[in-house]
């Protein structure tokens, strides 16, 4: 039974492009058959509490002897880890907020990046997600074209790549739609047209990726 873990993080609940594109992927996934299930978590509507104790960044056997983390939060972390480890494919909506990922998504990262559990730590090899696909739906209000002064101003995808691809060993692909605020703020017609073209291409890429990975 193929399982998709679908995460949204946008604070825009009505016109979010990242939510729309992840929904296209998830719908295409479900359409592959009744056995294709989706585990959904809305990181904005149901925001995770920040980790309240530094020891939760590590498994019990690597914590200081006097560590005493909150048991309720530790149980929540195990639930979040269970959702990740049970997924065949991970789909994440990543709107760009102030050149990085939303705080709600960063908190999820803090829950799932656990040395010696989801990521190798020194001689302790642990990459249970190795080889599993992660699809990042990257939406950006402005333009970040190659060769421009803003080309490297997206610090969300590089950070997620470090965690999901390098540390957890997942295979990563990114579907991008930029200029999402062009119409709202009166951008030139050619920029608006390019935004619409990128958005249509992103929806198409999401459908094709779901078919390929499912």
Domains of the chain with bracketed CATH: 3-213 (3.40.50.360)
Report the pLDDT averaged over residues 173-180.
94
Confidence band for 163, pLDDT divided at 50, 70 and 90: very high
Cα dihedral 137, 143, 144, 150, rounded to 10, equals -140
Asked if 87 and 39 count as a contact pair (C-beta separation under 8 A), the reply is yes
Question: pTM for this structure?
Answer: 0.95
pLDDT digits (tens, 9 = 90+) for 65-106: 999 999 999 999 999 999 999 999 999 999 999 999 999 999
- Summary mean pLDDT of the chain: 94
pLDDT digits (tens, 9 = 90+) for 101-136: 999 999 999 999 999 999 999 888 899 999 999 999
Tally of residues, the chain: 214
What integer pLDDT is reported at residue 152 of this predicted model?
84
CA distance 167 to 112: 11
Query: Residue 44 carries which DSSP code?
Result: T
CA distance 204 to 214: 15
> Which helix (H) or strand (E) segment is 175 a member of?
strand 171-177
Q: Where are the alpha helices (DSSP H) in 64-184?
A: 71-85, 103-112, 156-160
Report the pLDDT averaged over residues 160-167.
98
Q: Does the structure show a pLDDT above 80 at 3?
A: yes
Q: Does the structure show a pLDDT above 80 at 187?
A: no
pLDDT digits (tens, 9 = 90+) for 133-149: 999 999 988 888 887 77
What integer pLDDT is reported at residue 172 of this predicted model?
98
Percent of the chain with pLDDT over 70: 100
What integer pLDDT is reported at residue 190 of this predicted model?
82
């Amino acid at each position: 039974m193929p399982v998709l873990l679908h995460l949204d993080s946008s604070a825009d609940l009505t016109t979010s492009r990242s939510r729309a594109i992840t929904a296209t992927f998830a719908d295409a996934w479900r359409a592959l058959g009744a056995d294709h299930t989706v585990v959904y978590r809305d990181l904005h509507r149901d925001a995770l509490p920040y980790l309240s104790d530094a020891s939760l960044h590590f498994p019990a056997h690597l914590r200081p002897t006097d560590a005493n983390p909150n048991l309720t939060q530790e149980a929540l972390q195990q639930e979040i880890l269970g959702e990740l480890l049970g997924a065949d494919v991970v789909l994440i909506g990543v709107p760009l907020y102030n050149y990085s990922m939303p705080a709600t998504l960063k908190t999820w990262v803090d829950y799932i990046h656990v040395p010696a559990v989801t990521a190798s730590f020194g001689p302790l090899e642990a990459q249970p997600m190795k080889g599993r696909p992660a699809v990042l739906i990257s939406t950006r209000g402005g333009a970040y074209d190659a060769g421009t002064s803003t080309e490297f101003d997206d610090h969300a995808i590089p950070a997620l790549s470090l965690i999901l691809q390098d540390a957890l060993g997942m295979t990563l692909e990114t579907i991008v739609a930029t200029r999402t605020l062009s119409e709202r703020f009166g951008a030139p017609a050619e920029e608006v047209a390019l935004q619409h073209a990128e958005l249509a291409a992103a929806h198409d890429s999401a459908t094709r990726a779901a078919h390929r990975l499912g």
